[in-house]
A and B are shown apart, each in its own frame.
Chain A
Amino acid sequence: MKYSATTLLSQALRGQRKWPAIIAPAQLKQHYDAIIVGAGGHGLASAHYLAENHGMSDVLVLDSGWIGGGNTARNTTIVRSDYLLQPSFALKNFALKLWAQLSQELNFNLMYSPRGYIDLAHSDGELEHFMLRANAMHLAGADVSILNRNEIAEREPAIDLDPQARFPVSGALFQPEGGVVRHDAVAWGFARSASAKGIHIQQNCAVTGLTIKANRVTGVSTPLGEFATEKLLICAAGATAPLAELAGIRLPMQMINVQAFVTEPVKPILDCVVNYNAGLSYISQSDKGELVLGGATDGYLSRARRGSFARIEDTLARALQMFPWLSQLRMLRHWSGSADIPMDGNAIVGATAVNGLFVNCGWGYAGFKATPAVGWHLAELLASGTVPETLRPFALERFAEGALIDDAGIGPYPWRH
């Protein structure tokens, strides 16, 4: 069913009782041209583009949980591409171009809102680094600028710019194309499109084993039975490493906790995304009026999915420096999720030593913004079997070769990224 004003009206006249399910229940088959493990944003985007760009719809997407139940719906919905290193920038900037058309393309309102992204610096050294990053982005064709205090005040008067503050704002990097996209709508939008194109999506079905013969993938086993395929993409965030172990592949990956918060809803006060760069505290206002906040990782390895109090205090202290009026608001919800972060802080995407086995993981807490671009390129990888140029730097081999993509220049310490 195509969603439109006419559909909305006709369904309203029928008392909203005749809406078809967003995804069709699948009659599972024994063999598929490709199987994707993980029905998060990346897995479902890959499925959508496999059908849309490559005419491949004999595809099964499996998930141990449910659509919108993982990290896709736990992030703070921010999209931007302000990365220094070319591989990171290229992928996320391509995603920004795709986000702009996706609501139309998927016929699903993703509530895409390019409201602008302001990254605040609090020292001259930090501002100089922003200039380096902005110059690199500018050379690569992005619309980006450096704002001084007056320009920040003009763009976002809600930010506290008191020069007598403990850490006064020294300037900002501004990306007008940055903004927010409703995250669970992204998962459902891609799922609906993939399902409409004939792709099977099976929720609550965990993959328990991989079948590999003569170093070639032949299928997966699940509680619902065995499914054969020659192309298997594992797109399962933190579960990717244990699944890859089943194929004898060790991924250089650690699990770290990340937290996010939502305040009670208030009248519109903040019309862009703002980040406190030193130590991280990022904030935007949802359409409902809630202020959505997130911070850095908890800073140590954890698979507990429970946040540390120290990080809550730290994130909110930074938020209060930017917006002292936030102290008047109560926190409505707080949640955390396990982020899978490789040793250089950047994702692992591409082929593996096992023929037909592909992985996409390690996006840490930076994966949401890249969703459509990753799906686009993974579909190309699955359809053609060759790694697209944009994904090449993210290959697993980079760790053995020493060709790391260390955006923050930190080294093999995932908890610091």
Chain B
Amino acid sequence: MPASALIPGAIDMLLIPCPNCGPRDESEFDYGGPAIALPALEALTSDWHQALHLSSTTDQRVDEHWYHGAGCECWIRIRRDLVTHEINDAATGGDEVDA
């Protein structure tokens, strides 16, 4: 559920819908950055350059990881609009996060 549907004007800051704890203030979370697919360790330098530096730079809606340190202590994955801060598709991080 987008944060703006829960509290009018909530997009002025982030209210992150944690799949475990419900909507919680951004100050409870640490930012983990865009959920980018990393290449294999032995992949070419150019593949790593593409993944680390270029893959997440132009999208307005980004899949990203947040760590709910002051809540369930889990990594979660959300899809956030970088202009409106609207959040869709919150999910638990599962195995993809190597914390």
Contact = CB atoms under 8 A, between A and B. Distances in A.
Given A301-B62, A310-B26, A415 B84 contact: no
Nearest to A309: B13
Given A301-B62, A400-B46, A343 B26 contact: no
A415 B31 contact: yes
Nearest to A402: B45
A301 B26 contact: no
Nearest to B62: A301
A306 interface: yes
Contacts of B25: 310
Interface in B1-35: 12-14, 25-27, 31, 33-34
A384 to B, nearest CB: 29
Given A308-B13, A310-B26, A412-B53, A299 B31 contact: yes
A400 B49 contact: yes
Interface string B53-85: 110111010101000000000000000001111
Interface stretch (A123-131, A201-209, A249-257): A249-257
Interface residues of A, number: 27
A357 B26 CA distance: 40
Contacts of B33: 301, 413, 415
Interface string A394-406: 0000011010000
B52 interface: yes
B52 A412 contact: yes
A343 B53 contact: yes
Given A255-B82, A304-B83, A308-B13, A241 B57 contact: yes
Nearest to B66: A300
Nearest to B82: A303
Nearest to B51: A412
Interface in A279-335: 299-304, 306, 308-310, 313
A241 B60 CA distance: 13
Nearest to B52: A412
B46 to A, nearest CB: 7
Contacts of B12: 306, 309
B49 A399 contact: yes
Interface string A249-286: 01111110000000000000000000000000000000
11 contacts: A241-B57, A250-B54, A250-B57, A255-B82, A300-B31, A308-B14, A309-B12, A309-B13, A399-B53, A402-B45, A402-B49
Given A302-B82, A309-B27, 18 more contacts: A241-B58, A242-B58, A250-B58, A255-B82, A300-B14, A300-B64, A301-B34, A301-B64, A303-B60, A309-B12, A343-B53, A399-B53, A400-B45, A400-B46, A400-B49, A402-B49, A412-B52, A412-B53
